[in-house]
Amino acid sequence: MEALKEAIRREGVGIGRDVVKLDSFLNHRIDVALSTEMGRALYEAFKEDQVDCILTVEASGIPVAITAAQAFGNIPVVFAKKGDNINVGPDVYSAEVYSFTKRATTSINVSRQYLREGMRVLLVDDFLANGEAMRGLMSILLQARCQLVGVGVCVEKGFQPGGNMLRQSGVKVVSLAIVDAIQDGKIILRDD
Amino acid sequence: MEALKEAIRREGVGIGRDVVKLDSFLNHRIDVALSTEMGRALYEAFKEDQVDCILTVEASGIPVAITAAQAFGNIPVVFAKKGDNINVGPDVYSAEVYSFTKRATTSINVSRQYLREGMRVLLVDDFLANGEAMRGLMSILLQARCQLVGVGVCVEKGFQPGGNMLRQSGVKVVSLAIVDAIQDGKIILRDD
């Protein structure tokens, strides 16, 4: 998606060999116009796939999950909650997710009542890197007997294995931008 | 706001004397049409106040922060991050927030570069109860020398002190619905 690629070129910061910092518009400060446009792009990519519901994980997947749901005509968004949360209650689907960024494992949880059997669910997130969060969400969909429609993300780190592992297992993966490498602090985008 | 009050009457669960569970549309599963409407209602309440930016805290404040920002013509949203996060970096404004729900203190952090001196900031969240999160966000605005325009929340627990303490200190507080009490599992709304 060109507007996202432009924002990455203009504001993205590459750190070391694998950190892509897009804080200024994607996951700390949010460029709401761009987020709305990314939501529409995910809708365009999955509009033929009969999506009933969008599932993401808190927190930075939420903005694009909301804007995508708007583009789909206000379908519901469910966000998995991290850690133990007395607000969610015990009646949850749960999965363990390892975060390379935080170097820790967290449980993610979704109340059983919001994922009904047979529901067609699109997974959405801001980043796809090693695919740990997506594997956790897919485990939750399996437990809930929901159908995985596909995975839509804003930015895929193409030099990390998550995206290709999902594609090789037959999942429809749509990434609005793919970072192929970081070289001397410069973010190299695919098709650049 | 009538649509929100209807959703609370229809789907809200009162637990004990002080838990208001609105998981099914507000902060776990999101009713995106209602969220969009709540964003517009916050815009209506603050449209004369020259809002430059919306600040919230992850995670459940994010949906209505996004939809409000859309209503304001796509002003930026910044969400404070909880806990230590190596993605944010050390150059942050920080505050300690006690969560009665989680019975723990967390630090919330905002990168300094996203709050410029003099910026007029609207604080937004899903719930206002004891006001701890709002006090943390106000501390961050003070550190950043930003101007607090006001506080806009979806649901205020009128039987807890946060809202009135803010009003008594002169803050413009707009709550789209106010819960006055929980009686035998029933949520009593103000003006009902």
> Mean pLDDT over residues B169-192, rounded?
95
Encode pLDDT of B69-125 as tens digits.
Answer: 999 999 999 999 998 765 666 799 999 999 877 788 999 999 999 999 999 999 999
Q: Are A158 and A180 in contact (CB under 8 A)?
A: yes
Residue A1 and residue A104: Cα distance in Å, rounded?
Answer: 32
Q: Do B32 and A69 touch (CB under 8 A)?
A: yes
Q: Which two tokens stand for residue B8?
A: 């609370």
| Contact at CB, A69 and B114, closer than 8 angstroms | no
Per-residue pLDDT band for A87 (boundaries 50, 70, 90) equals low
Percentage helix, strand, coil for chain B under 3-state DSSP, each rounded to 5: 35, 35, 30
| Whole-number pLDDT of residue B192 | 60
**Is B59's CB within 8 Å of A62's CB?**
yes
Chain A contact set for B59 (CB, 8 A): 58-59, 62, 79, 81
A29 touches chain B (CB under 8 A): yes
Q: What is the pLDDT averaged over residues B18-27?
A: 96
Chain A residues with beta carbon closer than 8 angstroms to that of B23? 87-88, 111, 114
What chain B residue is nearest to A19 in terms of C-alpha separation? B87
A interface mutation test: which of B21, B62, B75, B103 has the most A CBs within 10 A? Answer: B62
Taking an 8 Å cut-off on Cβ atoms, the answer to whether B78 and A28 are in contact is: yes
- pLDDT tens figures, A16-75: 999 999 999 999 999 999 999 999 999 999 999 999 999 999 999 999 999 999 999 999
Q: Write the DSSP symbol of residue A115.
A: S
Nearest-angstrom CA–CA distance, A145 and A119: 8
